[in-house]
């Protein structure tokens, strides 16, 4: 997520004298050795599994292993399209991510701007710490917190509803309310963390501009509307495009711990690519179907990122990834 790669190329163009390959290797020997653990790490844990996507084109069965299982061409993909699974997973993953990105960024900007207007130092510090807190806990605990609030028998929500004389809600079997639950949980967890970037951007705003505007008679709302918001616009666009790049990557921990491992009644609105692949691996042992979905996700996602980066490059070359 940085400009590193792009800018470095421009800064350094190589030594003046042409060198032979061997001499280059020799003079870079130590630095190359220093990178070796990282190179090995990514080769083993990221590159070595990639050829495994071949599983997507076979009908894998455990006894025959990868190489003797039948090659079935595009049958797995055809199956995923025909059952409607692929469409549902794509729709859910993208729709949730768009919700996270748009509502999330709006809320983060709002929090950052309001924080900046506060004057009481202790209040600012305390609230920042509290808002940051949910980012530090594991998804397991987040799942437990959700259960505390949503449980049909004991949950806080139904406790409040009952004391108001209303009927309790069967949260864990009603798929329609889950988009709301998941988005609220996401916002709860990530707003404090995300607002830091915007807050830091506001800190970078030249105080002379703000003072000049105040002397000219701009009030607080006008200051926010005409100075702070336009100032945040580039940050917003860049963050937006970055997150759009990974719009096909789901947040497995969030969905899995909120919904539970086997709650089939909620799949219609809560099943995303990651949870589907996870189930196909551990519950159905359908390795081929899981790999087919992963391959689809990686290829489709790759083109989304390339397009997002192309857009960033057009708008602000300094921020492009490559």
Partner 1 sequence: MLTTRRKIRTDLSSMLVRTVGYSFIGLFSLCCLLPFLLIVGTSLTSEGSIARSGFNFWPREFSSFAYRIVFENPDLIIGSYWVTIGITLAGTAAGLFLVAMTGYALQRPDFQYRNGISFLIYFTTLFSGGLVPFYLLITQYLNLRDNYLAVLLPGLMTPFLIIMMKSFVRSIPHAITESAKIDGAGDFTIFIRLILPMTTPALATIGLFIAIGYWNEWYHSMLFLSPDMKYRPLQLFLYTVITSADFIKNSAAASNVELRDLPLESMKMATAVVATGPVILFYPFVQRYFIKGITVGAVKG
Helices 178-203, 252-259: crossing angle, 10 deg rounding = 140
User: CA geometry: angle at 184 spanning 178 and 190, to 5°?
Assistant: 130
- 235 sits near partner 1 (criterion: CB under 8 A): yes
Per-residue buried b or exposed e for 171-194, using 16+ beta carbons within 10 Å of the residue's own CB: bbeebeebeebbeebbbebbbbeb
HSE-CB at 66 with a 13 A cutoff on CA atoms is 9
CA distance 127 to 264: 39
80-99: contacts with partner 1 (CB under 8 A) = none
Q: Which stretch binds partner 1 (CB under 8 A): 5-13, 76-84, 89-97, 263-271?
A: 5-13
Q: How many residues bind partner 1 (CB under 8 A)?
A: 115
- 15 sits near partner 1 (criterion: CB under 8 A): yes
- 231 sits near partner 1 (criterion: CB under 8 A): no
Three-state secondary structure call for residue 71: strand
Q: Which of 31, 82, 164, 215 binds partner 1 (CB under 8 A)?
A: 31
287-316: contacts with partner 1 (CB under 8 A) = 287, 290-291, 293-295, 297-298, 301-302, 305, 316
CA distance 136 to 94: 25
Question: What is the closest distance, in whole angstroms, from the C-beta atom of residue 250 to partner 1 in the complex?
Answer: 11
CA distance 143 to 113: 30
Which helix H or strand E contains 70, and what residues bound it?
Answer: strand 70-71
Question: What is the closest distance, in whole angstroms, from the C-beta atom of residue 321 to partner 1 in the complex?
Answer: 7
Question: What is the closest distance, in whole angstroms, from the C-beta atom of residue 219 to partner 1 in the complex?
Answer: 4
244-263: contacts with partner 1 (CB under 8 A) = 252-253, 260-261
- 143 sits near partner 1 (criterion: CB under 8 A): yes
- CA–chain centroid gap for 147, Å, is 23
- 274 sits near partner 1 (criterion: CB under 8 A): yes
108-137: contacts with partner 1 (CB under 8 A) = 110-111, 114-115, 117-120, 123, 126-127, 129-134, 136-137
Q: Which of 22, 34, 82, 164 binds partner 1 (CB under 8 A)?
A: 34
Q: Which of 173, 219, 265, 283 binds partner 1 (CB under 8 A)?
A: 219
Q: Which of 81, 98, 102, 144 binds partner 1 (CB under 8 A)?
A: 144
- CA–chain centroid gap for 289, Å, is 24
Question: What is the closest distance, in whole angstroms, from the C-beta atom of residue 148 to partner 1 in the complex?
Answer: 5
CA distance 198 to 229: 10
Q: Which of 103, 213, 224, 240 binds partner 1 (CB under 8 A)?
A: 224
CA distance 138 to 2: 27
Residues 6+ apart with CB under 8 A from 148: 155, 156
Q: Which stretch binds partner 1 (CB under 8 A): 67-75, 81-89, 185-193, 264-272?
A: 185-193
Q: Which of 72, 88, 151, 240 binds partner 1 (CB under 8 A)?
A: 151
59-78: contacts with partner 1 (CB under 8 A) = none
Q: How far apart are the two ends of the chain, measured CA to CA in Å?
A: 10
Question: What is the closest distance, in whole angstroms, from the C-beta atom of residue 33 to partner 1 in the complex?
Answer: 8
CA distance 143 to 133: 16
- 28 sits near partner 1 (criterion: CB under 8 A): yes
* Total Cβ atoms within 10 A of residue 140: 11
Which helix H or strand E contains 58, and what residues bound it?
Answer: strand 58-59
Q: Which of 72, 210, 213, 278 binds partner 1 (CB under 8 A)?
A: 278
Question: What is the closest distance, in whole angstroms, from the C-beta atom of residue 127 to partner 1 in the complex?
Answer: 4
């Amino acid at each position: 997520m940085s400009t590193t790669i792009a800018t470095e190329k421009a800064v350094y163009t190589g030594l003046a004298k042409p060198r032979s390959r061997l001499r280059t290797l020799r003079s870079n020997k130590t630095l190359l050795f220093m990178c070796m653990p990282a190179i090995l790490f990514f080769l083993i844990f990221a590159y070595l599994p990639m050829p495994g996507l071949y599983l997507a084109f076979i009908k894998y069965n455990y006894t025959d292993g990868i190489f003797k299982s039948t090659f079935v061409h595009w049958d797995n993909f055809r199956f995923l399209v025909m059952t409607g699974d692929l469409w549902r997973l794509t729709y859910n993953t993208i729709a949730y991510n768009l919700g996270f990105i748009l509502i999330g960024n709006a809320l983060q900007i709002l929090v950052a701007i309001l924080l900046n207007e506060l004057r009481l130092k202790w209040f600012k510090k305390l609230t920042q710490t509290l808002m940051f807190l949910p980012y530090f806990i594991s998804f397991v605990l987040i799942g437990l917190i959700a259960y505390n609030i949503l449980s049909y028998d004991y949950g806080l929500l139904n406790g409040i509803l009952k004391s108001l004389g209303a009927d309790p809600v069967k949260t864990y079997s009603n798929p329609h309310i889950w988009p709301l639950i998941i988005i609220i949980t996401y916002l709860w967890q990530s707003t404090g963390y995300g607002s830091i970037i915007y807050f830091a951007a506001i800190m970078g705003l030249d105080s002379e501009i703000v003072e000049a505007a105040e002397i000219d008679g701009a009030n607080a709302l006008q200051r926010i509307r005409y100075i702070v918001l336009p100032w945040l616009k580039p940050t917003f666009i860049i963050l937006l495009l970055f997150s759009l790049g990974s719009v096909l990557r789901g947040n497995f921990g969030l969905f899995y711990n909120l919904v539970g491992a086997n709650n089939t009644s909620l799949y219609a609105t809560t099943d995303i690519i990651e949870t589907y692949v996870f189930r196909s691996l551990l519950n159905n042992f359908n390795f081929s179907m899981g790999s087919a979905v992963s391959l689809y996700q990686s290829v489709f996602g790759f083109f989304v990122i390339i397009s997002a980066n192309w857009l960033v490059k057009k708008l602000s070359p300094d921020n492009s990834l490559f």
